[in-house]
Chain A
Amino acid sequence: MMFHDVAQQGVEYGAKQGADYVELRYVQTLMESFLTRNGDIISAGSTETEGIGIRALAEGGMSFVATASLAKGDVEKAVQTAVRLARASRRKTPLALSEEPVIQTHWEVPVETPFTEIPPDTKLKRLLAVEKELTKIFDATALPIRTALLIAETSKKYIATSEGTRVESDYSLGRLAGRLTAKGAKGTEQRYFSRGAAAGWEFFAAPQFIETFIEEAKAVHRVADQAKPVAFDKPVDVIIGPEVAGIIAHENCGHPSEADRIQGREGANAGESFWMDIDIGTTRVGSTAVTVIDDPTLLRSGGFYLYDDEGVKARPRYLIKEGIANELFHDRQTAARAGVHSNGSSRASAYDREPIPRMANTYIAAGDYTVEELVEDIRLGVFIDNFTEWNIDDRRYQSKYTGSLARIIRKGEVTDEYVRRPVLELTSRGLFESVDACARGFASEQAICGKSDPSQGIPVWTAGPEAVRMRRIRLGGVQA
């Protein structure tokens, strides 16, 4: 029986069991991955998963049941269990879902060459070409550990709800990642990076695939070789590149604006949010130069989708608009509680995970300046291109980003003096309020955003313009 029929029968069966709402999400995924260390293959795998995630709403309670069997009897049993577990919750305050249009559609990632058309040895050869090029430039002393990863993932999804929504999709995502350890005159440095695109084999076949590793290796080696600790006794102007801007957009704005955190639903896991204490639409959380957008509809993006995992149409979300907290990530459950509509933010990482509010492609919006214009009036500052260590508290207020490739700005010019591990240890408000200008352009980093328990790693882009300027930053965190 085709999965369409299985899903159809499942939702009909759920309605007969007395559920107020039933949703079946069929997902079939094929993932191939290859990991090398210094040109040796360390791991390779090819895994296909297929199953159905079922949510039921009954007597105000919600349940989730996953089954890998598509046999009619097993699916019916799973639906029956879902309805029973929903009732077992015995909630005092009933849960509900927001009213949304019933959708029947199909969407897909545009792909030139499907991953399935490329044999495994070709994929591995492409990854090994990275090693070949890196070892032309660096000897084993300069770059002693070179780890490279290629992941090709395709999936088919079909969502059917008791309200009549039917959304089918075909998805394809290519991801590369590298972890490099460099040794130089000033010490050892490590660097992790990742890029990705909703695309087919063309993503890996493009020259940028190998160029990314080479550029990253050169940068981390330069840090190991030349970067010196610099103590700034006064606040300085700091310019951050798109990678740092992207992680800040994601961590200091994206996570705090997830409605489930604000409503307390992630309280025991990913935590809550300092946005609990503000008024959406009026509270200023940054300067007028700061606009943060999350847009799942960006073609080829690492967080691409057109309809979410509740069948709601995706659209850009303006999280911060000119410094004002503007919009939250909502799924149908959080939207119902807040008395608004879903903005298509519901995502699940696999068939056996419940859909919850998630980011897609989160970025600080570009401004009108060139990078040169941002730099020209800085007498003394630091340009932080990328970062190593980072973390943030569970209310998403106290953040830390340790720079990796970082250069001194002196008298309006970015110099070749490298700074070792400058630390931005700032509150979310302090950080966004310090921004006074953004450059043009857009560049992205692929990331896997973790949230919830059991953990759901979701592919996202973190992105930003070529440069973002922050005024009067005291670097290094506060230490005694």
Chain B
Amino acid sequence: MTKSEETQSLVEQALKVASRHGEAVVRGQDILRHQIRISNSEIDIFKQWRSRVLAVFVAVDGRIGTTEIIDPTPKSLQTRIDHLISFVRGLQPTPLFSGLQKEFRSPSKVEQLYDKRIREFPERAPEVVAASLDEAQKAGAKRTAGSFFFDEIVTDLSTSEGFRGDYRASSYRMTLRSFVDPESSGQGIAVGRVLNDIEAQLSRAGRESGEIASLAVGGKQGKPGTYDLVLHPTVAASILGALIKGANPVQILMGNSPLKDRIGQQLGPETVTIWDDGTIPNGLGSAPFDFEGTPTQRTQIIRKGTLEQLVHNTSSSRMLQTKSTGNCQLAQFFIGSKLMIPGPTNIVFKQGEQSFEELLEPARPTIYVTSNWYLRYTSALEGTFSTIPRDGMFLIEKGEIGQPIQKLRITDNLVRMLGAIDGLGREVRQIRWWEVNTPTFIPFIRIRDVSMTAATQ
């Protein structure tokens, strides 16, 4: 029996045990993941994770529960599922579950989901990483730090309602940071599923991080105030992506989104169109079907500035008399166990018409922000937040990147910022890194009148 046949067999055994008691989903994943971590321009550690994980969801008389069984055997899965069933019987029915998907269509066809060259990649990886570090150094970096993941995952899904499906996927993601001195840094990101141009992608990330770090040398304390911001895709994905992740009925129910009762409202200019797309080629969030077997799809969230739709799984769609959008996920809510809720796959922003240089053109006080982290809410319901730029940040002077500045904080409101978009770039990049956990395809974006604050002492 091959490894994937073994996994399939374990998934079927688990489903048989679980579905005796009620509705059930079992997802088996064979995961082989590697990571290379870099600092001071050298490899700090080379890691490997090899695991088989069975994620089990059960619903018994409206009572739901989940578990994950790592490296299961026929005996251990029987014990763990018996335990889960007994655990679930001690609970109470939940309003968040109203049954699994029962009408199945063919899984979506997803291009560029898997590249078999990933299998031989561990041998090549140190060399490819070294080449990207060289690019960073050629662009001016004195030292580099990075985190490079690559993996292969085989997924098998079976549900008590009769769905059976499987797929194989590969992926990589690199975050590379260059430093010229401790306060002059730049970041580059490379993300994808197929390895066709991985060397070029990693080299570009290295080069960009080095260039930003070099330009950031001599940074001065920024002057607080109101500015137009040109956001690098990394920053736009963090800030605007955070708002779009709130186009989710469960997030709204839990008070985590400012988008309650806003469907049909014009939230942004007509140039802004955003969708969730679980089928986009090379997307890290792409897959042929979701956690309950519904085919993934493209779901319009904002069309020409108007909030049109939320993402759904079967249960949430029934609550709102609509249809699942193929966004069922087993996700962690904040801490604790995972739950079956709708979630984003890949967030995609429609490209604009402007070049990066054109976005820098207006003669208003403008700052270019290349990276950020720590987006935190004063009120998630309102969308009031702040986040800290990190790496190079620059004043725009005469339509060009000018004086590097430091130590300013973006302090604003997500809904207001969406409404204030006044420029979208032509080049769309896929962003996924530590601060952006939903893969987001997004261009450079210009936003008007953003509040920038600074420390008082």
Tell me if B177 and A33 are in contact (CB < 8 A).
no
Can you pick out 6 interface pairs between chain A and chain B where the beta carbons lie within 8 Å of each other? A35-B336, A45-B338, A66-B47, A397-B407, A421-B378, A479-B225
Is residue A43 within 8 Å, beta carbon to beta carbon, of the partner chain? yes
Q: Does B121 belong to the interface (CB within 8 Å)?
A: no
**Nearest CB to that of B375 among chain A residues?**
A391
- Chain B residues numbered 82-98 whose CB sits less than 8 Å from any CB in chain A: 83-84, 86-88, 90-96
Task: Decide yes or no whether A16 CB sits under 8 A from chain B.
Answer: no
Contact A51 B71, beta carbon cutoff 8 Å: yes
Complex CA gap A426/B454 in Å reads: 8
Q: Which residue of A lies closest to B94 (CB)?
A: A41
Chain A residues in the interface with B (C-beta under 8 A): 31-35, 37, 40-51, 61-69, 78, 81-82, 85-86, 88-93, 95, 119-121, 124, 128, 144-145, 147, 149, 151, 175, 177, 179, 181, 188-190, 263-269, 271-272, 276-277, 352, 354, 388-395, 397-400, 402, 421, 425-427, 430, 434, 448, 453-455, 457, 473-480
> Which chain B residue has the least Cβ–Cβ distance from A54?
B48
B354 at the interface (CB under 8 A from A): no
Q: Would you call B64 an interface residue if the criterion is a C-beta within 8 Å of the partner chain's C-beta atoms?
A: yes
- Are A43 and B339 in contact, CB atoms less than 8 angstroms apart? yes
* B363 surroundings in chain A (CB, below 8 A): none
| A33 pairs with B225, CB closer than 8 A | no
Q: Taking the complex as formed, is B348 at the interface, i.e. its CB lies under 8 A from any CB of chain A?
A: no
Residues on the A chain within 8 Å of B381, using CB: 181, 188, 190
B13 within 8 A of A: no
Q: Is the CB of A453 within 8 A of B255?
A: no
Is B1 interfacial (CB-CB < 8 Å)? no
A402 cross-chain contacts in B, Cβ below 8 A: 378
Chain B contacts with A in 40-67, Cβ cutoff 8 A? 40, 42-52, 63-67
B47-A85 in contact (CB<8A): yes
Contacts of B145 on A, CB cut-off 8 Å?
Answer: 264-268
Contact (Cβ within 8 A) A434 B176: no
B337 and A43 within 8 A (CB): yes
Query: Which one of A33, A44, A145, A394 has the greatest number of beta carbons of chain B within 10 Å?
Result: A44
Closest to B250 in A: A42
Partner of B51, one of A67, A81, A266: A67
Which single member of B66, B87, B147 contacts A120 (CB below 8 Å)?
Answer: B87
The complex places the Cα of A263 from the Cα of B147 at a distance, in Å, of 16
Interface centre among B38, B48, B80, B407 (most CB of A within 10 A): B48
Tell which of A145, A177, A393 touches B255, judged by Cβ atoms closer than 8 Å: A145
* Contact flags B324-335 to A (C-beta < 8 A → 1, else 0): 000000000111
**Distance between Cα atoms of A477 and B407 in the complex (Å):** 12
A474 to B334, CA, bound (A): 34
The residues of A that contact B322 with a CB separation of less than 8 Å are: none
**Interface band, chain B:** 35 or more
A451 → B minimal CB distance (Å):
10
Contact partners of B90 in chain A: CB under 8 A: 119-121, 124
> Chain A nearest CB: distance from B153 CB in Å?
15
The chain A residue sitting closest to B72, CB to CB, is: A68
Do the beta carbons of B65 and A44 come within 8 Å of each other?
Answer: yes
Closest to B71 in A: A68
A145-B254 in contact (CB<8A)? yes
In the complex with contacts A33-B336, A37-B253, A124-B455 CB distance below 8 A: no
- Asked whether A43 lies within 8 Å of B87 as measured between CB atoms, the reply is no
Q: Which of B43, B70, B455 contacts A49 (CB 8 A)?
A: B70
Report yes or no: B42 in contact with A91, Cβ–Cβ below 8 A.
Answer: yes
**Which residue of B is nearest A121, CB measured?**
B90
A266 and B93 alpha carbons, distance in the complex (Å)? 44
| A190 partner, pick from B37, B87, B183, B379, beta carbons under 8 A | B379
| The residue from B44, B80, B409, B456 contacting A62, defined by CB atoms under 8 A apart | B44
Additional A-B contact list (5), CB under 8 Å, known A66-B51, A389-B385, A398-B409: A93-B42, A181-B255, A425-B456, A474-B457, A478-B456
Bound Cα distance A3, B44 (Å)? 29
Q: Is B297 an interface residue (CB 8 A)?
A: no
How far in angstroms is the closest Cβ of chain A from B348? 24
Chain A contacts of B390 at CB under 8 A?
271, 393-394
Question: Would B457 and A35 count as touching, CB distance under 8 A?
Answer: no
Measured in the bound complex, the distance between the Cα atoms of B48 and A407 in whole Å is 52
| Contact A267 to B453, CB < 8 A, known contacts A44-B65, A91-B43, A124-B90 | no
**A63 adjacent to B46 (CB under 8 Å):** yes
Whole-angstrom distance between the alpha carbons of A119 and B379 in the complex? 36
Contact B39 A267 (CB under 8 A): yes
Residues of B within 8 A of A476 (CB): 456
Q: A455 CA to B46 CA in the complex, in Å?
A: 16
With A81-B48, A264-B145 as contacts: A44 and B64 at CB distance below 8 Å: yes
Question: At the interface, yes or no: B224 with Cβ under 8 Å from chain A?
Answer: yes
Please name all residues of chain B whose beta carbon is closer than 8 Å to the beta carbon of A269 when the two chains form the complex: 147, 175, 434
Which of A50, A144, A267 gathers the greatest number of chain B CB atoms within 10 Å?
A267
Question: Which residues from chain A contact B374 at a C-beta distance below 8 Å?
Answer: 391-393
Give the distance in Å from the alpha carbon of A137 to the alpha carbon of B40 in the complex. 57
CB contact list, B153-205 vs A, under 8 A = 175-177, 179, 182-183, 187
A469–B381 CA distance with the chains assembled, in angstroms = 32
